[in-house]
Amino acid sequence: MEELIKSILLFREERDWGQFHTPENLAKSIVIEAAELLENFQWGPACDQEKVAEELADVIIYCILLSDCLKLDFYKIIENKLKENCKKYPIEKSKGNSKKYTEFE
Amino acid sequence: MEELIKSILLFREERDWGQFHTPENLAKSIVIEAAELLENFQWGPACDQEKVAEELADVIIYCILLSDCLKLDFYKIIENKLKENCKKYPIEKSKGNSKKYTEFE
Amino acid sequence: MEELIKSILLFREERDWGQFHTPENLAKSIVIEAAELLENFQWGPACDQEKVAEELADVIIYCILLSDCLKLDFYKIIENKLKENCKKYPIEKSKGNSKKYTEFE
Amino acid sequence: MEELIKSILLFREERDWGQFHTPENLAKSIVIEAAELLENFQWGPACDQEKVAEELADVIIYCILLSDCLKLDFYKIIENKLKENCKKYPIEKSKGNSKKYTEFE
């Protein structure tokens, strides 16, 4: 993963794209790519695995760029969120249902 | 990263959420979380770093889940997309501008 | 407006597209078109007015289709939401600031 | 419809929100609300009609605001897009299938 992140940052640097990559523009880019990913499922559940893989990779690449841009620790923020989700969604309340934690009794 | 991915999959398994995590539902989830991330920038470029980190982590976690669900190799798809981007955006054509490759002359 | 709505529904009927236009698929379509609209602003505030007009129209057309699909009254739901927004955002609390109502003191 | 549009613009004016409503911010707002609409269908096709109506109204209200902001004619842009769609999707090629026009043979 470390090598991949370095390659992504080098790709940006070589093109001098850092100037466009403000946090706001990257947040827009993530949602734009996420919607292109969703377009594969616009009319139903079946999908072209290869196209999905490409769009998914686009989302992840922009996520890595935003993380770098805000000097966030890519692994740490995932780890923290997972810990928080474990608290929000205790196994006994959430097992086998898709309720949002705000809907728990 | 390997450890994180394992923790995410265990989190899902313990809650028996695999049944809800179809590729289509995960694609919807990614765009929903991406829009919550964007909400931090709805009225301008300033943002609360901590909230952004949380929403960004949500996007990444769903990306990891979709990748697993479709049996994609998380690293490989990023690597492949990066290679493709290098072809689509040669340094001499894209340096210092944000044009889409379809707009190159 | 009535005439426009009728034309949109006729367009759908002539193509026998009602079968694809489930509420879920239309909700996906709205977010997909909304993201194409946002793509015009991906790297900054300037935009091509004509392209924006086209994408905006796409969003509205899908909104009209979803409204019809769920047998909602297009005007009534806007009117109701506007009334609710008037309550949520009283002039004295919201004038000149972009705070969400959940952040009011 | 005319009355509704006037009410929406008055609502904005009374709160002095025009300053936040740049085309870019409104485009972000449309996608944010569209994703909240989609959240009703995150885990499947069933939905709460009332919640969907509210979120759908939010999307439409922001569409009206963006249209006003760019001095677009709300009806004209829908009419134009519909005409274009009629050309892109001739009945004989698109009847009963959900193919994108780029995929026609």
pLDDT digits (tens, 9 = 90+) for D24-83: 999 999 999 999 999 999 999 988 999 999 999 999 999 999 999 999 999 999 999 999
Dist CA B67 CA B63 (whole Å): 6
* Chain A residues close to D28, C-beta within 8 Å: 28
Which amino acid does the sequence have at A72? L
Burial class (CB in 10 A: 0-12, 13-18, 19+), B2: exposed
pLDDT in the model for residue B45: 92
* pLDDT mean over A60-64: 98
Q: Which member of C31, C42, C98 has the closest CB to residue B31?
A: C31
pLDDT in the model for residue D47: 86
* Chain B residues close to C43, C-beta within 8 Å: 98
3-state secondary structure of C32: helix
SS (H, E, C) chain D: CHHHHHHHHHHHHHHCCCCCCCHHHHHHHHHHHHHHHHHCCCCCCCCCHHHHHHHHHHHHHHHHHHHHHCCCCHHHHHHHHHHHHHHHCCHHHHCCCCCCHHHCC
Q: Is A16 touching C (CB cutoff 8 A)?
A: no
Q: Which residue has the tokens 């390659």?
A: A7
pLDDT in the model for residue B13: 95
Give the gap in angstroms from C-alpha C28 to the nearest C-alpha of chain A.
6
Q: Is A43 touching D (CB cutoff 8 A)?
A: yes
Dist CA B35 CA B28 (whole Å): 11
Which tokens sit at B2?
């390997």
Judge whether A104 and A93 are in contact, CB under 8 Å. Answer: yes
How far from the centroid of its chain's Cα atoms is residue B79's Cα? 14
Q: Is D58 touching B (CB cutoff 8 A)?
A: no
Q: Is A52 touching B (CB cutoff 8 A)?
A: yes
Q: Name the fold adopted by A1-72.
A: Helix Hairpins (1.10.287)
* pLDDT mean over A71-100: 94
**Torsion over CA: B91, B92, B98, B102 (sign):** negative
pLDDT above 80 for B105 = no
Dist CA C75 CA C43 (whole Å): 35
pLDDT in the model for residue C60: 98
Give the gap in angstroms from C-alpha B67 to the nearest C-alpha of chain A.
8
Give B84's contacts (C-beta < 8 A, 6+ positions apart): A54
pTM value? 0.95
CA angle (C70, D57, C87) in 5-degree steps: 130
Q: Is B38 touching D (CB cutoff 8 A)?
A: yes
Q: Is C68 touching D (CB cutoff 8 A)?
A: no
Dist CA D35 CA D50 (whole Å): 16
pLDDT in the model for residue C33: 98
pLDDT in the model for residue D46: 86
SS (H, E, C) D5-35: HHHHHHHHHHHCCCCCCCHHHHHHHHHHHHH
Q: Which member of C25, C34, C42 has the closest CB to residue A42?
A: C25
pLDDT in the model for residue C15: 95
Give C29's contacts (C-beta < 8 A, 6+ positions apart): A42, C62
- B34 pLDDT band, cuts 50/70/90, is very high
Which amino acid does the sequence have at A32? I
pLDDT above 80 for D105 = no
Give the gap in angstroms from C-alpha C34 to the nearest C-alpha of chain A.
9
Which tokens sit at B46?
């300033």
pLDDT above 90 for D17 = yes
Judge whether A21 and A8 are in contact, CB under 8 Å. Answer: no
pLDDT digits (tens, 9 = 90+) for D27-40: 999 999 999 999 99
Q: Is B50 touching D (CB cutoff 8 A)?
A: no
Q: Is C81 touching B (CB cutoff 8 A)?
A: no
Cβ atoms < 10 Å from Cβ of A73: 11
Query: Is the Cβ pair C41, A20 closer than 8 Å?
Result: no
Q: Where are the domains of chain D?
A: 1-72, 74-105
Q: Is ipTM strictly over 0.90?
A: yes
Cα distance between the two ends of chain A: 40
To test the contact with chain B by mutation, choose from A13, A81, A92, A100 the residue with the greatest count of B C-beta atoms within 10 A, namely: A81
Asked which of A28-37, B88-97, C28-37, D51-60 is least confident by mean pLDDT, the reply is B88-97
Which tokens sit at B52?
């952004």
Q: What parts of chain C have a pLDDT lower than 50?
A: none
Q: What is the dihedral of CA A97, B33, D49, C20, to 10 degrees?
A: -100
How far from the centroid of its chain's Cα atoms is residue D73's Cα? 14
Report how many Cβ contacts below 8 Å link chain A to chain D. Answer: 8
pLDDT above 80 for A105 = no
Q: Is B36 touching D (CB cutoff 8 A)?
A: yes
CA-nearest residue to D45 within chain B is B25
Q: Which member of B25, B28, B38 has the closest CB to residue D32?
A: B38
